[in-house]
Amino acid sequence: MKLKIIYNEPAAVVREWLIISDLHLGGPGSVDWKATVQVVDGLMERERKRHLLILGDVKSPVASTSGEAGKFIREIGSKYDLHITKGNHDGNIEKYAGYCTVYGAGGAILCRDGIIEPKEAVGGRLSSCIGVLHGHAWPARELVQCGMVMIGHIHPSLIFGKEWKRKEKVWIFGRLNTQAVGEHYGKGVKVNKNIRLVCMPAFGPSSYSTREGRERALSPLTSENIFIKSSAEIYLLNGIQAR
């Protein structure tokens, strides 16, 4: 399946799905939930989508399920088919199951016919599917059979300038060390030899930077022995490749 990056937005489209990640509503410096609803509404209407997938960390408070995030989920979940892969900040988010479908930390699989739980996957068809998860934990073993795995969590960005610095959100594309991935899962798990990793930028305010070197510690899939650093392709939101 083809992944389309939306120009100048930290969002992507796959078939009938709009995909975003890391809103961190209710946290320091976060955007008001009503404003976030307006932005998401605008993207959904512009792209003509009815299905929304959020790759985790809808909220910032780890334990609390009330407040900004809850209002956002109720509002968006009443308008669209909302799905969420659970992030490390999304404790007790299942409380809103009446407004959305929640998947565990191991993620879900986006296929031509829609989104499915990992255990519902049939191995022979997964090479054309996309594994989707937040990224703070290892994917469910079925996801590494997909042709692509897509994560949020690391908030990738670059810092430009010396005296006057600015931070720009970016996309990161790259390959995984499939041998090391296979060793993690052990015998009986077939890893797609052509699997690609996509790290998407945060939809909300970003607090991490790839130049700070923190991303390797934030996700198992971006750790030193798993992510092939030399394969990394980095793109700004406007599509310009960073070198």
How far apart are the C-alpha atoms of 151 and 200, rounded to whole Å? 6
Residue 215 confidence (pLDDT): 41
Give me the domain span that covers residue 105.
Answer: 4-242
How many Å apart are CA 100 and CA 74, to the nearest integer?
8
- Residue-wise pLDDT for 146-198, tens only, equals 999 999 999 999 988 877 778 899 999 999 999 999 999 999 899 999 999 99
Predicted pLDDT of residue 212? 43
Q: In this predicted structure, what is the pLDDT of residue 29?
A: 75
pLDDT of residue 163: 76
Q: What is the count of structural domains for the chain?
A: 1
The pLDDT of residue 30 is 79
pTM for the complete prediction? 0.93
- Reading the block at residue 237, the tokens are 């939101």
The pair of structure tokens assigned to 118 is: 């990992």
* Cα 180 from Cα 22, distance rounded (Å): 27
pLDDT at 205: 83
**Residue ranges in the chain modelled with pLDDT below 70:** 62-66, 123-124, 206-217
CATH at 80: 3.60.21
Question: 157-160 and 166-175: which strand pairing?
Answer: antiparallel
User: Do the strands 196-199 and 148-151 form a parallel or antiparallel pair, or are they unpaired?
Assistant: parallel
